[in-house]
Structure 1
Amino acid sequence: MQSPASQIACRLADNAEGVCRHYLSKGHKEGRYWLVGDVHNTPGRSLYVRLAASPDGRGAAGKWTDAQNGDHGDLLDIIAVARGCRTMRETLDEARRFLSLPIPAPSEDRPVRRTKAPTGTPEAARRLNAAAKPIEGSLVRTYLASRHITNLTGSEALRFHRHCWYRASDEDAPGVRPAWPAMIAAVTDLDGSITGIHRTWLALDGSGKAPVAYPRRAMGHLLGNGVRFGQSGAVMMAGEGIETMLSLRQIIPAMPGIAGLSAAHLAAIRFPAGLKRLYVARDDDPAGAGALTTLTERAIQAGIAVVPLEPRLGDFNDDLVAFGKERLAAILRVQLQPSDAGHFLKHG
């Protein structure tokens, strides 16, 4: 016989879209999924909820996964976070109210089965970063070179872990390896303290990403922080992805940059003191457009000028691989302010 919690979780799964519209209202439906930034209802696309069971039976309706950090759970977890429930009883009562079910008489509370999001504390992130090694001679360099990224000046935030644990998701094939080599990127605040890390799992020979469902995941405190390249200055650039920033630094290596790691986090980055002009390398998708709008509004209030950088393809790493450095330099030259082009641009 199913427990009350399991029964209610099944009822919620049967009405997964309604649950998402109510508790994750800043997301949207896309095909068989509800997409939102995270379990806290941040705008974005990182977290997805299955609205219907997958045809192969491997994924059940109502299950969610955050692609940024690998956290996952069911709709009771979503409700617990949304309403700040402290006990399982509070969570179930809230779910019953949503489902218009009778609420039973009070009984002894049990601790709530807390959602797995967020997992990974800054302390855990710092331990993982310390366990990693410098990237010289590692598979990180092999992988980045396959993406045409070879100049890694100012990339001290990147490290290499030979056997980084990978938690499989419902999307992974049975028997997927539990550990892979990984590129570790330190997420830091404005003071340089590590608040989180980002992992990119790599193929065993470094020729590409590992053949897993979610080869990129982050942990720790990310909001407002990012992966930093170079020292902060009056002119900087920011973007979603690590490889986007590294690709731009192949052409403008002296311009400091910060990778926010997602559209939602890019929109929330904290501005360093003395910043006057920020180039924003947005991804060519709706989330990237939204991040640029939000970041621009915040920057204007802080007296910072924002200049968008538009890739020709999906992102600037796509441009670098497809067109090469000389053509990418030409693409950037017409988008940079003339004074910045003269000072930073090294190609073309």
Structure 2
Amino acid sequence: MKKNFALIGAAGYIAPRHMRAIKDTGNVLVSAYDINDSVGIIDGISPQSEFFTEFERFQSHAYRIKRDPATALDYVSICSPNYLHHAHIVAGLRLGCDVICEKPLVPTPENLDELALVERETGKRLYNILQLRHHQAILELKDKVASENADHKYDVDLTYITSRGKWYMESWKGDPRKSFGVATNIGVHFYDMLHFIFGKLQRNVVHFASDYKAAGYLEYEKARVRWFLSIDADDLPATVKGKKPTYRSITVSGDEIEFSEGFTDLHTTSYQEILAGRGYGIEDARHCVETVNTIRSTAVINAQNDEGHPFLSSLTNGTRR
């Protein structure tokens, strides 16, 4: 039986993946909302959808169609700016809908506790899109780590550079009050991936932090991780610079794990799992929320021993901003 969906944040970068996932799982996008009206993508996916640029009108429509079980919303999907997730999640739950939300779910563990309370009050569920948990290369690595059952910890280097133009710092993404900083905005799903593969986090230190990049060290039950995240194109390796705007790399004990491809359909897979009752909820997201909350709030320290990412030396020597 088809489910009725609403989408909040329809003009955002990630929204089309949610629209396609709704369509590809055989369901209906009933209504969409965004303060911006550049949403022509809807025409090619769900042209029959209602669209609103004012939240009050969107909410009023949702309550109106709720009176008839045939038209009432079953799910609200949220792709709005990070700082609005909490408010939009609560609104969706109190509409009597299950909610699917992009990362980061919320900025703090305390926010998670409050959302869990609203879940209990409404009897509805909140799901987080943690799409890397469905990536085939990540699943294979997780199985490999589990099967080896090694006594030693794996040495892991995580590098993610996704070039962003001047628009980024002028948008909500460049405002740490709204995006919660670069490590949270572009890194939260990688921290979830590391926890998913290597177990509980035991140590979390930050070696560098700015508006454009961050670096640090994470120690898990089964891994020692040096990480580097950046939106600065100058950080791209020479082999990539001028050819590709993005560089993703994860090495495990010297072996490169290729996961640059295979992202296209992961939102659809996530929706399929949620609709089948196997989605990831609040407690699944807690570990990565705690991780980024610590990264934002902890003081930067100098790297000890071999805990610094290989890119760190060029930052601390002042050769990059």
Tell me the TM-score normalised to structure 1 length: 0.24
More contact order relative to length (CA 8 Å, sep ≥ 6): 2
Query: Is the radius of gyration larger for structure 1 or structure 2?
Result: 1
Greater per-residue helix proportion: 2
